[in-house]
Amino acid sequence: MDVQVEKPSPSLARITVTVPAEEFQGEYERGLQHERSRVNMKGFRPGKAPMQMVEKKVGSELKDGLQRHYIEQAFRQAQEEHSIKPFNNPRIPKDDAQLAEDGSFKVSFEISLRPEVVLGDYKNLPIESELEPTTEDSVDRAIDDLRQQHARPEPAGEDGLKEDGMALADVNFLFGEEVVFERTGLRLGVPQAPPGIDQASWQEALIGKQEDEQFTIDMTLPDALDKEEARGKPGTCAVSISKVFDMLPPSDEELCKGSEVEDMQAFRAKLRGHLEDNAQTQEQTRQETTLLDRVLTDARCEIPGGVLDEQAEVRLEQFAQELEQRKVPEEERGAALEEQRPLARQEAERGLRALLVVEALAEAESLEVSSEAMNAELAQIAERNGTDIEEVRKYYSEQNMFQQMAVELLERMVRTFLREQAEVKDPA
């Protein structure tokens, strides 16, 4: 196999791989012999089927696999011998990779190269902390939130639905006499009116309602309805209540028992610790994002246009799938895609730029993602999803997601490095 590399420009490499007929044919015949020893063909014992029948069955697939093998081998050899840093893997149309009449194999393909990244200052960057102290008021608000989150439903009394209560109901949106939206068994609350309904009117209509009561209320029909002509038009919301509940918050004793503490003083101390930890984590994330944005802004690199176009199209394809899932009419999708195109290109450029800068900074500081870090991440994913680590490993392997995981872990390392190297000042 002969591999030649040309660089028409600093951002492009052209790789040509040539495999003589005798080499390709030799590998092909060895592959046929291997397949003959393992393929099952009716009427023949393993390894005894005629070679012509084996070739007819697996020959085309075997040749395609050999061609891919030589292309991948040439790609690796070009990187090692010519120190090229590719931006993407080779994508070669099938018609471009064909055997010549004499049985030899030759194909050329182009690869976008990673541009040079010139980093600005990234150490000792000044940043002011925005971390606020955890006050008694914030602990009180957190306790109130916990009481609401863990409140249990009890059948409502004679006063009907209260402001902090909950109802189960069937809800229909009407456009004239036509039902354009219907749901059964919805959980309804006073603080959250359905879209298109005035909050004050909703509260007035809902408070005090009893089981088996019905009512209607004027509304503006939502834009997401399947019926296009009804979107944004005046309509009616018809509500049929089946159950009404008071929401009973947990007592102090129940809160303490759930947190495995003896009394409310210990509960408040434990909750305060959680609030302080969460606030610290959020502040660290904010600092890291701010610092990384500065580094991205100061770095200089020029992204190859072909790669940028390709990534922008990937984002547009994802957006098109979202439009289809949202059942946006086909005639509206084209205009929506064109409107999204500049944004998709901007997002693609920022994503690629961030990737290049993160990798350049990691290389400059010898930051590497170890196999231990990968295994630790897999273990955390398995724990969060209540599954086995080997199942997660298998899934990530089948979906070719290990590279994405490594990039995400590397970015975390760079973000942490920037924060630890920064000059963090206390709030003024």
- Tens of pLDDT, residue by residue over 245-284, are 999 999 999 999 999 999 999 999 999 999 999 999 999 9
Q: Which amino acid is at 60?
A: S
Strands 105-112 and 12-19: antiparallel
The structure tokens listed for 411 are: 């970015």
3-class SS string, 378-398 = HHHHHHHHCCCHHHHHHHHHH
Question: What is the residue-wise DSSP string for 127-167?
Answer: EE--PPP--HHHHHHHHHHHHHHT-EEEE--TT-S-TT-EE
Torsion from C-alpha of 352, 354, 357, 360, nearest 10 degrees: -70
Strands 423-425 and 126-128: parallel
Q: Which amino acid is at 335?
A: A
Rounded CA-CA distance 173/191 in Å is 19
Q: At 37, is the pLDDT very low, low, confident or very high (cuts 50, 70, 90)?
A: confident
Rounded CA-CA distance 155/243 in Å is 8
Closest CA to 318 of 289, 300, 299, 341: 341
Intra-chain end-to-end CA distance of the chain, in Å: 67
Angle at 395 between CA 393 and CA 397, to 5 degrees: 70
DSSP letter at 300 equals: B
- Mean pLDDT (whole number) for 162-166: 94
Residue 92's SS3 state is coil
Instruction: Give me the residue label for tokens 């009404």.
Output: 244
At residue 112, the pLDDT reads 84
Angle at 55 between CA 53 and CA 56, to 5 degrees: 65
Q: At 94, is the pLDDT very low, low, confident or very high (cuts 50, 70, 90)?
A: low
Under 8 Å CB-to-CB from 136, ≥6 apart: which residues?
A: none
Rounded CA-CA distance 177/360 in Å is 63
Q: At 93, is the pLDDT very low, low, confident or very high (cuts 50, 70, 90)?
A: low
Cα–Cα distance list, 354 to 244, 310, 357, 360 (Å): 52, 17, 5, 10
- Mean pLDDT (whole number) for 13-29: 90
Question: From the centroid of its chain, how far is CA 140?
Answer: 35
Percent of the chain's residues with pLDDT above 90: 63
Residues forming beta bridges with residue 182, ordered by sequence position: 172
Q: For the domain bounded by 2-112, which CATH number is listed?
A: 3.30.70.1050
The structure tokens listed for 98 are: 């064909």
Least confident of 43-47, 187-191, 419-423: 43-47
Rounded CA-CA distance 200/385 in Å is 41
Instruction: Put residue 124 in one of left, alpha, beta given phi > 0 → left and psi -120 to 50 → alpha.
Output: left
Domain ranges for the chain: 2-112, 153-248
Helices 252-259 and 264-298, packing angle to 10 deg: 60
Scored b (16 or more CB within 10 A) or e, 147-173 reads beeebeeeebeeebbbeebbbbbebbb
Rounded CA-CA distance 240/167 in Å is 10
Burial (CB count within 10 angstroms: exposed 0-12, middle 13-18, buried 19+), residue 267: buried
Could you please state the CATH topology (level 3) that the domain comprising 153-248 is classified under: Chitinase A; domain 3 (3.10.50)
Closest CA to 217 of 233, 190, 194: 194
Strands 178-188 and 166-175: antiparallel
Rounded CA-CA distance 39/47 in Å is 8
- Mean pLDDT (whole number) for 366-387: 95
Residues forming beta bridges with residue 3, ordered by sequence position: 17
Residue 95's SS3 state is helix
Rounded CA-CA distance 397/404 in Å is 11
Q: What is the pLDDT of residues 278-328, one digit of tens each?
A: 999 999 999 999 999 999 999 998 888 888 888 899 899 999 999 888 888
Q: At 423, is the pLDDT very low, low, confident or very high (cuts 50, 70, 90)?
A: very high
